[in-house]
Amino acid sequence: MKNILFALFAFSSFAGNASESFLMMPYALIYDSLDTSLAENEALFLLDLTSLNPELRDDQLIYSIDNGENQFYDFALGDTLAILTTPGSHFFELYAGNEYRELAFRMDTIQNQHRRLCRLNFSRSYKYDAVKKPILYLYPKESTQVSVNVHPVGDFTFVYPSIEEGWIFECHPDGTLKRNDDTYRYLFWESEQDIPSEIINKKEGAVVSGQGAIQYLETCMQEFGMTSEEQADFITYWGPIMQTKSNLYIYLLFNEVCDAFASLEISPKPTQIGRFYVIWASVPDDYNPSLEPQTVPELQRDGFTVLEWGGAEVSASKIFLEDL
C-alpha cells in the first residue's frame, strides 16, 4: 500500500442525543501490535465498522484523517476500513448514512511499524439546522389590520414579538407594524429543522470568498427587488458571520420553494409574496467547481406586498457537492 494523506471534510460536531454521544466512547481498542511488513515511518489503522446498522450499508462511508481530503469507502469491501498513515497521533472524521451517523475523534499516538485495530462506536447524532432570522416585512397599500401566522417545518427556537396563536397588527404602507402601544419594523422567527439536501441543485450556486460574499449577495438582492433598508438588515446579520470564512458555497432559494422551511398564513391575502433564503457552507479554499449561476426572479411590488428573508449555514456534508 502507498502512503495516503487525507484532507478535511467539514463535519459538524455531535448533535441530537447528547447523553448518548458523551457516554459512549468513540472507539474501543482491540489490539496494537508490531507489523514488520510495514515500511519505516508507516503505521496502519484498521477501523472495525460493524457497529453500523445494516440499513446504512447501502451508502458509502465518507471519512478523512488529519484535515485531509474526503475519501469514500464501499461497504462491499467488508467491515474493516484500512488506513495507512504515519506514526503519531491522528484526528479522524467519519460520516455514514442519511441519519447523520458520524464520529469525530483523536486517536492516541501509534508507534512506527504498528498495526492497530479499533472497533468504532457510531451513535445516532441527527444534525438539525438552524434556520436563522427569517424576518417578514408587510407593506399594505393602506393601513390595514393583518393576521400573520408562520408554520415552520421544525420547532420555533425564537419569535419576536410573541406570536401566541398568530400575529395581529395594524400594518401601514411604510412597513410599520403596530400592536397596542408597541411599534415594529418587521416580524422575526427562527426554527430548528432538518433541511433536505434535495432542495439544492448541486449544479448551481456560487463559490465566493467570505469577503466577496457581501457583494455577491447585494447584487442578488438588488436583482430580487429589495430596498436598500431591507438589504442592510440582511447584510448586517449575515455579513459578519460569512466574512469570517475563507471560501463559501452559496445557494439561494426563492418564493414558493421556501415552503420547505415554513408556510405563511396571511390575512388579508397579499398581492405579492417574495421570499429570499440563503443556504451556505464553508468549503475548502481550493474548491472552485464549474457552477451555473442562479436565475434571480424579480419581486413585483404592486399591491399588498410581503417580503421575507432568512437562511441557514449548513455543513459541507449537507451540500454534498460531487467533487468536494
Positive or negative torsion for Cα 73, 76, 81, 85: negative
Structural domains of the chain, with CATH: 18-124 (2.60.40), 150-155+189-319 (no CATH)
Residue-wise pLDDT tens digits, 152-169:
988 888 899 988 778 999
For 259, the 3-state DSSP assignment is: helix
Cβ contacts of 135 within 8 Å, gap of 6 or more: 186, 187, 188, 189, 233, 308, 309, 310
Assign 299 a pLDDT band (cuts: 50, 70, 90). very high
Assign 20 a pLDDT band (cuts: 50, 70, 90). very low
Cβ contacts of 14 within 8 Å, gap of 6 or more: 21, 102, 104, 123, 125
Least confident of 160-169, 191-200, 277-286: 191-200
Residue-wise pLDDT tens digits, 81-108:
999 999 999 998 887 755 445 677 888 8
Say whether pLDDT at 24 is over 70: no
Residue-wise pLDDT tens digits, 61-78:
888 898 788 788 888 888
